[in-house]
Structure 1
Amino acid sequence: MALLLGLLLVLLLGPWTELELPRAGGRGEGGELGARTALRTAALLAENPDGSPVFIAFRSSTKKSVQYDDVPEYKDRLSLSENYTLSISNARISDEKRFVCMLVTEDNVFEAPTVVKVFKQPSKPEIVSKAPFLETEQLKQLGDCVSKDSYPYSNITWYKNGRLLQHLEGVVNISFTKHMDPVTQLYTMTSSLEYKATKADIQMPFTCSVTYYGPSGQNTLYSEQAVFDIYYPTEQVTIQVLPPKSAIKEGDNITLRCLGNGNPPPEEFLFYLPGQTEGIRSSNAYTLTDVRRNATGDYKCSLVDKKSMNASTAITVHYLDLSLNPSGEVTKQIGDALPVSCTISASRNATVVWMKDNIRLRSSPSFSSLRYQDAGNYVCETALQEVEGLKKRQSLTLIVEGKPQIKMTKKTDPSGLSKTITCHVEGFPKPAIQWTITGSGSVINQTEESPYVNGRYSSKIIISPEENVTLTCTAENQLEKTVNSLNVSAISIPEHDETDEISDENREKVNDQAKLIVGIVVGLLLAALVAGVVYWLYMKKSKSASKHVNKDLGNLEENKKLEENNHKAEP
């Protein structure tokens, strides 16, 4: 008879599990076995937890029939094939037990035991009850790693950034519990992790795994990663000025923002203004509006509960003042002196630019004796190059007034048929020019005028007089009326071009000088005439005295004097 081999069987919870029974050999078929009539019979029994056997299936070698005992636990779940393979469907945890195969022959009873093991793969582990945050220097519950429906129960392991976490008193505390469902007899495993975090744990992933055993050996399942917000106290305070600018100028709005490098960052701070010892409690931002130059100084902020942890910044409010004297509209007379000053006061060196009628000047204007061309719109402009938008400007509109001044010129056409008379006028406001012919008093309207530039312009007429005439040019503005005349001879009389450069202001003086010159000339002529008469009388007297010298003079000295006089009178 062949030997019966004991088999160790494994049942996986599922639809079917097969148990192949050992075959028995015999010397023949038929015969009696005790009270039984079957010569050869195979029986399968299972042991209860208390060790008592329970027959669950029989098969006779002669009848080829299978008989299943009425065991509720295996009802409709057993199938014994012709080759003595036992299949159990819908495996259960309770199927994990010792099964015995028995072969009954005429001579003996043979037994072959086998043990069936049942395995159930657990669910993928999951980190639950996660802490909303971890805090440095504090041991806090990080979370629970849970894996369900395992048989037998499995082990759970924790990892940080892929590295195994092991128990370390006060830093890493790991506890493990398992719970079996009384109905399914499956285990739920829970591992709790307490962890003291550091700043190095920022963005570090935590995972857990479950290690279980199956028919093929040991296997491991891993949870999803969990990253925790790490809270840590503020170690440094910084202060910012918003919006960020290279420079702050008067009128700006600025915001002081205080920041702590802790997590979560502080929500309140104390702000200290320049010269103040008491802080102003505020959120992490403090705004100053329309700042002035007196806001320049050191600003500081600190933690509310730890004033020694603070930060400071220096703020300079740049300013620019400009004073133009005189400014606005100023009216002066020609020849007047006008001092002009543009005074700058600024937080740092400023550039100054002078403009006249939108043209940049090389230097600041200075007027010791005003001219008409000095009139115009002057602008003094200053700026701080380092401070965007900080510019100031003031303007001076200078008006230079003057009474009309006249100069008349005359030019004869080369053909000799016409003459051009020009009246040059200077004055402001612009004088109006009117021509008249002396004698007739008629007004000449056909004139040609030049552009009015720098207080000057001219008016000219072209005439062909048949007789001597006098042309009068009259210039008048709001200040005064000025008249000048020029004699023009007929075109038939040759004459040289003349220029009358006598102005009205000097005309009276020139006339007086002419009279004086005429008087002097007349006087000289009269004096020459008198001298001639005197000389003639003297010569006549000298000749008469020489004829009677011997008679009238009785001494030598008188004769000598007469002789000398005669010699002087001779030509």
Structure 2
Amino acid sequence: MAFLNRAAKPLFLLFSLVSCSAWAKVELTMQESVELYVDDSAQIPCQYHFINISSEARIVRIQWFVRDVDGSLSRIFYSHGKNYVVESHTDYSGRMEVDMDNQGTKLIIHSVQLSDDREFFCQVIGWTGDGLALGSGVGKTHLKVFAWAKVELTIQESVEVYVDDSAQIPCQYHFINASSEARIVGIQWFVSEGDNSQRRIFYSHGKNHLVESHTDYSGRMEVDVDNYRTQLIIHSVQLSDDREFFCQVIEWTGDGLAVGSGEGKTHLKVFVRPEAPVISGVLTVISVTSDLPSKVASCEVQNGFPIPNITWYKNSMRLMPSPGYVNVLTLVTQEYSGLYSVQSTLEYKVVKVDKDAHFSCEVNFFVPGGVRTMESNSINITIHYPTTVVELWKKSPQGLVKEGDTVELRCQGDGNPPLPVIFNKKQDQDVVLESSGDMLILSPVSRKDSGIYQCRPLGTSGYTNIKGEMQLTVHYLDPAVVMPKDSDVIQEIVMLNGESLTVACNAPSSSKTDTVWYKDGEQVGKGNILHLQDTTFETAGEYICEVTVLSHPSLHTSASVYIVVQGSPQLMGVDEDVQLEKATGRMVNLSCVAQGYPLPSISWNIIGSQDWHEVVSKSNLTVAQSVLTVEVTSDISAFCNVSNYIGTEVKAFSIKAIPTVTTTAPFSPGEIAAQYEATEGSGVIMVVIILCLLLLAIFGSVLHFLHKKGKFPCGRSDEALLSSELALKPAISVRVGAEEAAVTDLLADTTS
């Protein structure tokens, strides 16, 4: 009995020596071994019964021992009758317990460890009442502890494919704390069912593979298996394949004991791209006066999987549901094919600014690896809203309005539908002006049409804020009037020579004007007042004032006045008397020009010749000219008398007749010059006379030539004849040069 401890040996020996009774046999029934995994609870039962036991046996003693690493035994439990002790300071203190009854005992060890893989002994001893051992028995059980192999799986959370594509679901695994006896790997694939159960579709044990028959995947699936990896392949994926697939890996010992397992799952997600969204707006009119949101539009997308989502937009801004303002009603329909169609209705509380708004919908749907969107067309809805603002403006003409224009005023309110409008002037609101729709036409306008015009929607009465208003100003410019005005027919002012005069030009206008004075095409003044100081006969003439509206240059007018300066006649040209010496038989032109008002009359007194006649007599309002031709037969005295009722002027002409000299000697300018030098003693006078004779001869030849050709008419008494005579007879003309030309031009202006 080597397994008995020291305390038991003396009692046994004592019993052997003293007692003469027969030794009782104790039979124990124990399992050869108990197998379990780390962290499990081990139960080691020990059943016993006595054979040939004495009737005096009354007490049972039970002890449990464990074999240490060195082969010795250590007691861990002791009981005697109803008293028991769990040995302290052992590896099992605090994690073991012992059950006992009349036929057996059971050792229970919790949280089994690998170090508990050893032999446990159960000893049962029968005692008499007086403490004598009657018999004993010992049994043992080998507690075999296995470390549970941990199987780690790497599997995707989801796999995403389009319908009709092939799906590949990989499953990788490896073992941790694997038993050295493990030799076989078992793989199983399951698919979730609608009742939350699982159905196996594939099984492998070692090299044996089996695809389960009579499943939805029979004939369209395959499984690849190699070291530490398996892959489920599903062909022609269907909508019904959108479910979870489970991969289970089990490690088996050679004798068929499972020592480790792991399981993972993948959700196979199937996608179908939906059709493009179709949006349709309501055909009815929506009013802003509605208290509740009104149906604006509906958007439908068909045949998508999984369920597409519809989002609404207004002017590209997302509309979020808001009670009382934005409602979105969604209806989802699953078609017979399993695809989903979604219809979304937008209810929206419209306001006036939504009249130009554009509504659209966007469908969001899932695809493998992300989310895609499709946008619908945008629509505009018809909104009715009351008129709150009315605008009145001038459509034509552009710019300022002047009398005679055709004016178009247009009135428009901001309501929809637009209401009929009426027009009136603010000064007379009860009088409705005749208009054509929203247009008021005034033609032709005059200054009395100026004023404030109003328009308002038909139906409103009295003064109201809902009206349009504008100021219409009709610009005008009355005909110009020159003051002072002596006559209603001819604007003519008569004044005395040397006086001063102030003339005003007035043209009533609606705007500021600018006045400019002109005489003979040249500006002589600016402003509506013209001042004339110390007037002379040259002051006389027509003065024109032009008046222009500065803000409207097309508005302009003009008036004229004729200034007449009264005074006694004044001779024009050379004032002193004229003295001439002319050869006898010659014709001499005498000219007399005078100005004055009233127009002076010209008369001639000729002494010394009866052969004279007037060749020119012309005049204008203030200037008179007379030219006469006289033949020198002897000394002549001529007097030009100019007069009007204010005064008289006289101009005297004295012509000394020089006898004509004749000679038979050859004509020589040198001899003539010598003769005159000898007789007159003046070389200068002779040179002048010779030059004049030469010029006269040349002019005579030209005149004869022109007469033969019919280019020079004879007998004219007009200004052309006078000019020709002056050209032919420069030596005997009364006056030539700039003064004669000036007078001729002055008179030509009158005759023309």
Q: What band does the TM-score fall into relative to the shorter chain?
A: 0.5 to 0.7
The one-letter amino acid of 2:242's match is E
Alpha-carbon separation, structure 2, partners of 1:264 and 1:404: 86
CA distance 1:219–1:334, shift in 2 (3 Å)? closer
Residue 610 of structure 2: aligned partner: 441
Say whether 1:385 aligns with 2:528.
Answer: no
Give the conservation status (yes or no) of the 8 Å contact 1:410–1:420.
Answer: no
Partner of 1:16: 166
The one-letter code sitting in structure 2 at the alignment partner of 1:392 is T
Aligned to 2:423: 271
Number of the residue aligned with 2:471: 314
Residue type of the alignment partner of 2:220:
R
- 2:531 and 2:206 map into 1 onto residues whose CA distance is 141
Bigger mean CA offset, 431-440 vs 193-202 = 431-440
How far off its partner does 1:311 sit? 2.5
Tell me the equivalent position of 1:94: 240
Partners of 1:340 and 1:365 within 8 A in 2: yes
Contact 2:578 2:654 (8 Å CA) reproduced: no
- Measure, in 2, the Cα distance between the counterparts of 1:242 and 1:91: 71
User: Aligned partners of 2:346 and 2:303: how far apart in 1?
Assistant: 21
Equivalent position to 1:455, from 612, 618, 623: 623
Distance 1:8 1:470, change over 3 A: closer
Check whether the contact 1:334–1:372 (CA below 8 A) recurs between aligned residues.
no
Residues 181, 445 of structure 1: CA spacing in aligned structure 2 closer, same or farther, 3 A cutoff?
A: same
Aligned to 1:536: none
CA contact (8 A) 1:411 1:420 kept: no
424 and 409 in structure 1: CA distance in 2 versus 1, 3 angstrom threshold: farther
Root-mean-square deviation (Å)? 6.1
- 1:294 counterpart SS class: helix
Q: In structure 2, how many angstroms separate the alpha carbons of the residues matched to 1:349 and 1:22?
A: 100
> Alpha-carbon deviation of 1:291?
0.8
| Correspondence 1:136 to 2:288 | yes
Aligned to 2:322: 167
Shift of the 413–420 alpha-carbon distance from structure 1 to 2, 3 Å rule, reads farther
1:177 is the counterpart of 2:331: yes
Confirm whether residue 253 of structure 1 aligns to residue 406 of structure 2: yes
Q: Do structure 1's residue 410 and structure 2's residue 577 form an aligned pair?
A: yes
Q: Does the C-alpha gap of structure 1 residues 335 and 441 become closer, same or farther in structure 2, counting only changes over 3 Å?
A: farther
CA apart distance, 1:470: 2.9
Q: Name the CA shift for 1:204/1:124 in 2 (closer, same or farther; >3 Å).
A: farther
**CA displacement at 1:178 relative to structure 2:** 0.8
Contact 1:203 1:228 in 2 (8 A): yes
- In 2, the alpha carbon distance for the partners of 1:339 and 1:152 equals 102
SS of residue in 2 equivalent to 1:190: strand
Aligned-partner Cα distance in 2 for 1:327–1:68 = 130
Alignment of 1:16-415 (within 5 A): 16-20=166-170, 49=194, 69=213, 73-74=216-217, 77-83=220-226, 84-97=230-243, 116-120=267-271, 123=274, 126=277, 128-130=279-281, 135-138=287-290, 139-153=293-307, 155-156=309-310, 158=312, 165-169=320-324, 171-183=325-337, 185-199=338-352, 221=373, 223=375, 232-243=385-396, 247-260=400-413, 262=414, 264=416, 266=418, 268-273=420-425, 275=428, 277-280=431-434, 282-307=436-461, 308=464, 309-322=466-479, 323=481, 326=487, 344-347=507-510, 352-362=515-525, 373=538, 376-395=541-560, 409-412=576-579
Post-superposition offset of 1:469: 3.0
Determine the C-alpha separation between the residues in 2 that align with 1:426 and 1:212: 110
Report which of the two has the higher share of strand: 2
- Give the superposition deviation at 1:207: 6.8
Q: Given that residues 13 and 93 in structure 1 are in contact (C-alpha distance below 8 angstroms), is that contact kept between their aligned partners in structure 2?
A: no
Looking at structure 1, the residues matched to 168 and 494 of structure 2 have their Cα atoms a distance apart, in angstroms, of 130
Structure 1 residue 16: deviation in Å? 1.7
- TM-score, structure 1 as length reference: 0.59
Please tell me the residue identity of whatever aligns with 2:288: T
Instruction: Give the superposition deviation at 1:251.
Output: 0.9
Aligned AA (1:166): P
**2:96 match:** none
Tell me the SS of whatever aligns to 1:94: helix
Match of 1:522 in 2: none
SS of residue paired to 1:257? strand
Q: Secondary structure at the match of 1:165?
A: coil
1:96 offset after TM fit, Å?
Answer: 3.4
Greater Rg over alpha carbons, structure: 2
Deviations 1:496-552 (A, max 9, x none): xxxxxxxxxxxxxxxxxxxxxxxxxxxxxxxxxxxxxxxxxxxxxxxxxxxxxxxxx
Q: Aligned partners of 1:285, 1:446: CA distance in 2, in Å?
A: 74
Between the aligned residues of both structures, percent identity stands at 22
In structure 2, runs of 5+ residues without a counterpart are 1-147, 582-587, 644-648, 660-752
Q: Residues 101 and 196 of structure 1: is their aligned pair in 2 closer, same or farther, counting only changes over 3 Å?
A: closer
CA displacement at 1:294 relative to structure 2: 2.5
Provide closer, same or farther for how the CA distance between residues 303 and 282 of structure 1 changes in structure 2, counting only shifts above 3 A: farther
Q: Give me the whole-angstrom Cα distance separating, in 2, the residues matched to 1:331 and 1:103.
A: 132
Q: CA deviation at 1:269?
A: 1.8
- Please give the alpha-carbon distance, in whole angstroms, between the structure 2 residues aligned to 1:320 and 1:11: 91
Query: Cα distance 1:469–1:196, how it changes in 2: closer, same or farther (>3 A)?
Result: same
Give yes or no for contact 2:609–2:633 (8 Å, CA) kept in 1: no
- Contact persistence 2:278–2:301 (CA under 8 A): no
Give the C-alpha shift of residue 179 in structure 1: 1.2
User: Judging changes above 3 Å, is the alpha-carbon distance between structure 1 residues 233 and 266 closer, same or farther for their aligned structure 2 residues?
Assistant: same
CA distance in 1, matches of 2:417, 2:491: 63
Taking a change above 3 Å as real, the CA distance of residues 281 and 303 of structure 1, as seen in their structure-2 partners, is farther
Change (3 A) 1:178 1:432: same
Query: TM-score, normalized by length of structure 2?
Result: 0.47
1:379 corresponds to which letter in structure 2?
I
Closer/same/farther in 2, CA of residues 424 and 68 from structure 1, 3 Å limit:
same
| Distance 1:147-1:279 versus aligned 2 partners, 3 A rule | same
Q: In 2 relative to 1, CA 45–436 (structure 1 residues): closer, same or farther, beyond 3 Å?
A: same
Secondary structure, counterpart of 1:282 in structure 2? coil
Deviation at 1:380, TM superposition (A): 3.7
d(CA) in 2 for partners of 1:257 and 1:292?
19
Q: Return the offset for 1:400.
A: 9.2
Q: For residue 160 of structure 2, what is the amino acid of its counterpart?
A: L
Q: Structure 1: any 5+ residue segments left out of the alignment?
A: 30-39, 477-481, 493-571
Aligned partners of 2:477 and 2:510 also within 8 Å: yes
**Per-residue deviation, 1:331:** 9.3
User: Could you list the per-position Cα deviations for residues 89-141 of structure 1 after superposition, in whole angstroms to 9, with x for gaps in the alignment?
Assistant: 22112123566789999969999795754342765985722458865343322
Q: Could you say what secondary structure the match of 1:321 adopts?
A: coil
Q: Could you tell me how far apart the structure 2 residues matched to 1:196 and 1:341 are? A: 72
Kept in 1, the 8 Å contact 2:166–2:234? The answer is yes
